[in-house]
Amino acid sequence: MIKGRKRNLFLLPCVCAFLAALFLCMGKTTAHAATPLEKWGRLSVSGTDIVNEKGKPVQLKGVSTHGLAWYPQYVNKSCFKSFRKMGVNVIRLAFYSDPNAGYSKSLYPTVEKGVRYATELGMYVIIDWHILSDGNPKTYQKQALSFFNYFAKKYKKQKNVLYEICNEPNGDVTWERDIRPYANKVIKKIRKHDKKNIIIVGTPTWSQDVDLAAQKPLKQKNIAYALHFYAATHTGWLRDKLSAARGMGLPILVTEFSVCDASGSGAIDGASGTAWMKLLKKYKIGYVAWNVSNKNETSALIRPDCRKTKGIRKGDLSASGKWIAKWWKK
């Protein structure tokens, strides 16, 4: 039998070893905080909400690349990680569909890199077919079908991929005649491979007319609809449109926004911006900020004089970047 002082001498190393093991474990858990993907798993659409694997509504918070042809240097793991640290959980990869705006099959590997880095970081990633100057999604429908066929086949097993099939239809485009039939075709193509991941559909007038989509939504599952706003241009009237469409049961995601005007520049409208962010928070509607670059325009999230493409810190953010980053932590 071990007695008195002797017993204490025996117990002491045991207690120390136990404490050391405990600290090591704690160190491990703090070193590896759960990633957004570990926390939520595959997302889906339930009623008007985007929900996690347990069916609980979640709010995506993201940043969008600029056109991949113009600013591919920001598609790197360190850059994505910097934004994750600031509270971002989704990266949008903007692949312009118009050849005059950079469309090229040679950019597919840039998309693949983006998806790989986001995946390694446990972040969600939106593959965005960025129609803009090409107005009608039917203009490059053939290319869109081949684009989504390729990526849906590639990523059908991943839980963190979302497809945005037409950034901003505009000009002589209607929901019924153009966007809805286009969406039906592209959705069919994606679903041939990827049965579950969310597909986001743009709406008329640069993704503002969610009310028109709400009148005749698509019939498939796991479809969300895009609403885009630039706070200085799109004010209360567009917020009302959002609320009305949501009231009609439409699931909405803000896959692009900024706090300046619709040109992507001009002054920040803090009052309109705040009203938007409060509304989105109230409804848990996800939002993605345009754009990760240091271009000399207000919407660029990085300061024009910052040449870094890695290890981005809060101090490297532009005025709009800093403004928006405050909301990533709320």
CB of 264 to ligand IDC, least distance (A): 3
Residue type at position 146: S
CB of 300 to ligand IDC, least distance (A): 7
Please measure the distance between the N-terminal and C-terminal CA atoms of the chain and give it in whole angstroms: 59
Q: How many residues bind ligand IDC (CB under 6 A)?
A: 17
Stretch that binds ligand IDC, among 135-143, 218-226, 269-277, 294-302 (CB under 6 A): 294-302
CB of 55 to ligand IDC, least distance (A): 32
Stretch that binds ligand IDC, among 38-46, 83-91, 293-301, 321-329 (CB under 6 A): 293-301
Output the CA–CA distances (angstroms, integers) from residue 71 to 23, 25, 111, 252, in the order listed.
Answer: 43, 41, 12, 28
CB of 88 to ligand IDC, least distance (A): 19
Among 134, 164, 168, 269, binds ligand IDC (CB under 6 A): 168
Among 61, 92, 295, 303, binds ligand IDC (CB under 6 A): 295
Q: Which of residues 211-270 bind ligand IDC (CB under 6 A)?
A: 228, 230, 256, 262-264
Indicate which residues carry an active-site annotation: 168, 256
The single residue listed with the structure tokens 């889906």 is 44
Pairwise CA distance, residues 40 & 116, whole Å: 18
Residue with the shortest CB distance to ligand IDC:
264
Q: Residue 77: which of 119, 35, 41 has the closest Cα?
A: 119
Element (H, E) at 271: helix 270-283
Output the CA–CA distances (angstroms, integers) from residue 275 to 186, 225, 233, 269, in the order listed.
Answer: 34, 21, 13, 10
Q: Residue 179: which of 226, 133, 222, 147 has the closest Cα?
A: 226
Tell me: does residue 132 bind ligand IDC (CB under 6 A): yes
Sites of contact with ligand IDC (CB under 6 A): 67, 101, 132, 167-168, 206, 228, 230, 256, 262-264, 290-291, 295, 297, 299
